[in-house]
A and B are shown apart, each in its own frame.
Chain A
């Protein structure tokens, strides 16, 4: 039994389920909505020495980073766990000759990839929108780096949501916690404590440089996110391994 087979098995399970489309639709929606808003209130946004592309980006990523992204991460985790909670599937899965670590890892990898797709679509969508509404040259490279860092800052949220979704078959618990945490981040992100709150990090990293990142350095956000992710993953896996099914 190789890990690649487990990964293949996990991918096969996604066939003909379209919940993952949410990860494509959510960023697209925000791109369209943000661009529309930008065009509509252009006069207001572009007063003084405002930079047009930064204003456009702000319109696209604010709501996405604060609410839609963390919520779609939660929904994906619920869905990846749900297919096993229903129809007695954990029992069968646990009687197959495979390492429990491999299942947990495979599910995490799929989850990370889905979030990655979401980031990629947001990035490409923003570029297309910038061209259409004509905001001039945009810093493609800086935006790509920010998107990658944003992806990394999603990891702790993703690991926590996976832990909760597998632990509790009642979807109200992971979804409720995600809602509460995201709504709290609306307040915290704009305060001095934003850099210490995991749900604020994705939106801080996505914000155009003048308003976002602030005192958030790349090494800080990467190391904090990856360490927190690893801790949460290990806790999640330990609970998973001990789960009685």
Chain B
């Protein structure tokens, strides 16, 4: 029983209801299979991308109307939430262009009119892209990241740049040089990080979907904290060209949506080989959309025979009891849908966290060398070269970034390389092997997305080790390069109306399709499943 599940709240004040509440195709109660919950049923969440497409094609609304409603919602909610570092001046113009195309009867891209937030470490041509760092304040890249370019080509509207921990280094978005983003479920709490702005913006319906980046859990943990879907694709699935590198061998661009379908369709849009990123994969990108059946077309046991491994090490001590029970409830729900559950053990699991911090810090110490104040970004006047570097970097980088650069520089230094970097790579090989073995026995693996729900703002600020420990559920997946999805599975106590908790599903390399299928069915059949944050105080 999801005993802590709270009745959902609707955001009735805002003109967005039709995107998540209206036009229920089928009542969930009438067709969904039996589940573990008999709580008051609500209609399952609707894909905002599909809803937008339908309403544009039917002429029910226009892209401009949609854009206006989102922009006005951003205006209303931003003072409290601070999800965006920059809101596009062109969003409305982009929407009008789509309306003109509709008027001319032209074909529309699959993302036409979709309002998209983009994490600030992903380059957007002519729009500020700072990675939330002082050192890149006012920097406007001369090119779009490949993922952004694809979104634009398919009709998506980039509504703004979302806040984050500086260069992706952090788990709360408090390490942004510019502002602290609030969690829409409880304004005194963090949205998670580092893609906290992207997660919170989707949760608060400031945009329909958003792009984040995930180096050690930076998409999945904030998705869990904000009650949205976060999808981290296989390493190489999405081009990293235009993503400001934190740790190149771990970084992936990921997707946020309020439904699995939205995250999946956004992933489809940005996936594929890119000749500008030699680590991008030539693996075919399947058409995920066919997985997103409506509930009435599900069989009675729609996940019959799907083998699910519950990772034992993720439910041991150190995990909040509420999180543990929500995960167990989720497992029971999967079982009710026909999945075969087994417990699996990943012996190398606990080694991942230190290995991750060594590798990520090492690579970041190198990747961030280019921010030297010479060619772009923050340059501090100095009368000697080393002083120029020292001052530009000293004033440009925040504390967390400096700490990781120092750690990484140390780990790569002569005499320490073997003990740290090389050893961490050996651990990485071990982790990859353990995951591979577990995924040969199981279709997917599940675990909590984070050991707890959202922290209070400031709670972990002076305790970096406690904050790093919060990444234990997610870092191993990056080390292994695997795809994973996090989707809300329950609420725990906290805040005005409970705090969301996410379930992490981990798949085999390049098998996002299975994750999306299982995730979609799980989401659509979860009773009381509209994870909408409570009304924001000033809006109410």
User: Is B truly associated with A?
Assistant: no
Chain B: residues with CB nearer than 8 A to chain A?
Answer: none
Chain A: residues with CB nearer than 8 A to chain B?
Answer: none
